[in-house]
Amino acid sequence: MENNRIIGRSYEQHILQNICEEKEARLVAVYGRRRVGKTYLVKNFFGEKFDFFFTGSFEASMQVQLTLFAGALKEYSGEARALPKDWFEAFEQLKSYLVTLNKERVVVFLDELPWMDTPRSNFLTAFSYFWNTWASMRDGMKLVVCGSATSWMLDKVVGDKGGLYGRSSRSIYIAPFNLYEVEKFLSERKGIIWNRYQILEAYMIFGGIPYYLDMLEKGLPFEQNIDNLFYRNGAPLRTEYEFLFRSLFKSSSIYRQVVETVAKKNKGLTLKEIKEELKLGDGGAISIVLDNLCKCDFIRKYSAYGKKEQGSLFQLTDLFCLYHQKFIGGKTGLDEHYWSNIKESARLAWAGYAFEQVCLHHISQIRGKLSIKGVMTNVCTWSLPKHTDKDGTVWPGAQIDLLLCRGDHVIDVCEMKYCQTLFTLTGDYEKRMRERNETFVHFTKTTDAIHTILITTYGLRENLYSGSIYSTVTMDDLFME
């Protein structure tokens, strides 16, 4: 049954409900970006009624973890046991307690599982042994594991090729909120009633991360909220960026370097360009870093139209990191009212790119507005440097940040524009769009129909040139469920 305290997550709750109703033992892996609400979902779905619950501690030694584990076991069982010397003994003690429970369903929740896996602790081996040799054969056993280190969860639990390979019954990915869910969260959970332009701006700063959104204070102006969270003395989110990487990756320095390198170019960088920027060789380590960053939702890998895998680009898409790079990282002595007093031009320059990322996070809503949800659609980009044909024809450089390549032989060329009012299409801009589309058709040799789609905040002002826009997607459309 869906829990009314949980905003969104209907599908995820449906999965959990089905698992609970099954007789067989189930191992469920819940993963997603840090602060996205994984623990909140599990705790509130089960009403915090666990037969055993334990959460790992960040950067704690194995001995500390085992001491805390023993304390949690004593709390649930009411029985003091000898301090376990290793994880094998710890899980044996957990087993001896669980066998005493005379229940049709037993729920065990282990949170922040990656933090328990300290060096040379053999945690994963012990955990696998516990599940494979005992827990997996107990009808009614529901073992839920959770972790913010997405790459660890995917490698070690969901896609493990060792002791847990093929053992997890179900994996549940927790995505950041979309705009619809953010609006609902702010109004229902926080009592904050903002217009959609303000909510959009909040999304461009925090992304759809509930933990950050929950820090917003009702009754304070939007700008003051941002100043309080990022710029005043002791601001709670001032150091969040550094903690994110330390808590997720053991070698956090290289991960930060890659993110900050990719952030330098809006359209992203190829693997080759990243290696050149960081002065790295041809080793495979950087590919692993990029793969992990993609798994943890910091960057995205996408293909350019008509290009193969080696032409793929890596682009920073985590909006919180994007904001930090632009307005916090590397800056010192920032005024405590920095956001309230920042120049409008600087804010708009950032907002233009951030809005593009918001659009990329809401492809489903864009497809819904265009009535193509049932049409197979590939999302890609395209660019071309200035080019001269053999016959001397000069083609200006062109770039398209969002193409929706549809199975019905239509390509939607999306123009994303962040505006504070209706967008006005001028004659010069209409000409540039037309020439860009012609360049795209000429060099790609596509025979698909080309539709120019405008995605903007308040819509398109009708004038002599507005008829060249096939369809308009507004901010309100992005708020669709």
What per-residue confidence (pLDDT) applies to 331? Answer: 76
Would the CA dihedral through 187, 190, 193, 197 be positive or negative? negative
91 membership: H or E segment, kind and range = helix 87-98
Would the CA dihedral through 284, 285, 288, 290 be positive or negative? negative
Measured in residues, the chain has a length of 481
Q: Residue ranges per domain, the chain?
A: 10-173, 179-218, 252-324, 364-478
Given a contact cutoff of 8 angstroms between Cβ atoms, the answer to whether 196 and 476 are in contact is yes
Which CATH entry fits the domain spanning 364-478: 3.30.70, 2.60.40, 3.10.20, 3.40.1350?
3.40.1350
Would the CA dihedral through 467, 470, 474, 480 be positive or negative? positive
Pairing of strands 141-147, 377-384: unpaired
Q: Is the overall model pTM greater than 0.85, yes or no?
A: yes
What's the burial of 289, exposed, middle or buried (CB within 10 Å: 0-12/13-18/19+)? buried
What per-residue confidence (pLDDT) applies to 166? Answer: 58
- Closest by Cα among 35, 44, 46 to 5: 44
Residue 65 tokens read as: 């973890």
- The pLDDT averaged over each successive group of 10 residues in the chain (481 residues) is 77 94 93 92 94 96 97 95 96 97 95 94 95 94 91 78 62 93 95 95 96 95 95 92 86 88 87 86 78 87 75 89 90 86 87 95 96 93 84 84 95 96 96 94 94 97 96 98 90
Topology of domain 10-173, per CATH? Rossmann fold (3.40.50)
Which residues touch 60 (CB under 8 Å, ≥6 apart)? 68, 115, 118
Topology of domain 252-324, per CATH? Arc Repressor Mutant, subunit A (1.10.10)
